[in-house]
Amino acid sequence: MKIRFDTDTFREILDSILRNKSRSFLTGFGVFWGIFMLMLLTGGNQGLKELLNKNFEGFAQNTCIAFADNTTKPYKGFKKDRSWNMQYSDVDRLKHMMPELETVTPSVSLWGRTAARDEYAYSSAVVKGVRADYALIETPKLMYGRYLNDADLAHERKVCVLGKKVYTTLFPEGGDPCGERILLGGTYYSVIGVDWREGGGVQINGSPSDMVTIPITQAAKAYNLGNNIQLLCFTAKPGFVMSDLTPRVREIMARAHYFDPTDEQALFLLNTQLIFGIVDNLFKGINFLVWLIGLGTLLAGVIGVSNIMMVSVKERTTEIGIRRAIGATPSQILGQIISESIVLTLVAGMSAIVFSVLILAGVELAMTEDGILKAAFQVPFGTAILAAALLTLLGVVAGLMPASRAMQIKPVDAMRDE
């Protein structure tokens, strides 16, 4: 069978559609609604996923964060509910005993500190002491200057990187603050950079916009922290799964600090790889549900197309019989019915794609702030092409039974019905 889309065939299809406007509308509405729901849900799911991923932007996905807490089990003569602290020596211990770890870096934080410059002051700053390699855990988004380096730590330099809110409060006039000095805890620090990250997303010991980041060696000296650290952040090398490494980390730390290796509260390990995996699986499930709903709605629409086309064929029995009588072959009748079904489904489907794209464009406009698009709520090009191919296929399927019925009409029977 060959389906011809020449001028005469298209004119006949268009004439048939216009003569049965209400029926054509009902035929296309089911397909329109199915494709519209599929495209809208797909684009919305894509945008929500991108929006959530931006909250995790700059944060290493294979990271584990460890911090000490009171023990809940007695161990080797020590009573439960004993407090303990991680030490700076734990960094080298994990590096030497676990070559699977790529980065091991400590962190300390002090809340509610006041940062001041001339008459300006920010009273809710978080002083964060880190090493230069902490940038591999939380990647800074530098607007000005640079981040901490190894020389800053080695020489205990009094330098700092300001968060966005701290910078805009202390430097309301704007401009590059590098080289300027701020007062922090009775000590002056030179500004070497500005981290422009917002406060949303993953936060470790406070919002990045409230941070004043200084070398951890300087923080230990200025705030009398000694060798104690609050957090220990580490990432796994490529090819290693963090979930497989955390039991060994707990065992090594338990042996060094004398707590039960089975005491999960004594050393709390936050495995961000599990969190990212849960989020990824969540959106895979949502995407499957979207396609299931969309295809189910579309299938219902196609069944409606087939039923209405059957009614159309029945009402055009005489017309089809006359065409057969004047020389139309069964394949020509079959081609016209299937062509009409394809045109109706394609027109309805393409209209739904265009309409859904316009709706999603409106959502994007609403999600734009200061000229920056937060997330792209749009249908992937491959999905649109797949939908168009699916529409063509479903148009053929929807027209097969009506076309088969039309081929069985004999001219004599058609004249007798007339």
pLDDT in tens, 13-43: 455 554 554 555 555 676 777 778 778 888 8
Residues 224 and 295 in one domain: no
**What pLDDT, on a 0 to 100 scale, did the predictor assign at position 324?**
67
Read off the pLDDT band of 149 (50, 70, 90): very high
Helix (H/G/I), strand (E/B), else coil: 283: helix
Residues 298 and 312 in one domain: yes
CB atoms within 10 A of CB 233: 24
Instruction: Tell me if 370 is assigned to some domain.
Output: yes
Domain that holds residue 212: 63-272
Residues 128 and 211 in one domain: yes
pLDDT of residue 167 exceeding 90: yes
Residues 342 and 197 in one domain: no
Give residue-wise pLDDT tens across range 293-316.
777 777 777 777 677 667 666 666
Instruction: Tell me if 104 is assigned to some domain.
Output: yes
- The domain tally of the chain equals 2
Give residue-wise pLDDT tens across range 212-256.
999 999 998 888 888 899 999 999 888 888 888 999 999 999 999
Is pLDDT larger for residue 52 or for residue 130? 130
Residues 229 and 331 in one domain: no
Torsion angle of C-alpha atoms 366, 372, 374, 378, degrees rounded to 10: 70
Instruction: Specify the DSSP class assigned to residue 199.
Output: S
Residues 295 and 181 in one domain: no
Residues 239 and 124 in one domain: yes
**What pLDDT, on a 0 to 100 scale, did the predictor assign at position 85?**
92
Residues 93 and 143 in one domain: yes
How many CA atoms lie within 13 Å of 378's alpha carbon, on the beta-carbon side?
12
Residues 229 and 301 in one domain: no
Instruction: Tell me if 136 is assigned to some domain.
Output: yes
Angle between helices 330-366 and 272-315 (to 10 degrees): 140
Q: How far apart (Å, rounded) are the C-alpha atoms in residues 227 and 207? A: 25
Residues 109 and 153 in one domain: yes
pLDDT of residue 2 exceeding 50: no
**What pLDDT, on a 0 to 100 scale, did the predictor assign at position 230?**
92
Among 238, 256, 272, the domain-final residue is: 272
Among 213, 243, 272, the domain-final residue is: 272
Residues 30 and 109 in one domain: no
Among 210, 243, 272, the domain-final residue is: 272
Q: How far apart (Å, rounded) are the C-alpha atoms in residues 358 and 335? A: 34
Instruction: Tell me if 1 is assigned to some domain.
Output: no
Residues 205 and 351 in one domain: no
pLDDT of residue 59 exceeding 80: no
- Compute the radius of gyration of the chain from its Cα atoms: 34
The answer to whether the beta carbons of residues 395 and 346 sit under 8 Å apart is yes
**What pLDDT, on a 0 to 100 scale, did the predictor assign at position 214?**
95
Instruction: Tell me if 2 is assigned to some domain.
Output: no
Residue type, 254: A
**What pLDDT, on a 0 to 100 scale, did the predictor assign at position 3?**
45
pLDDT of residue 7 exceeding 60: no
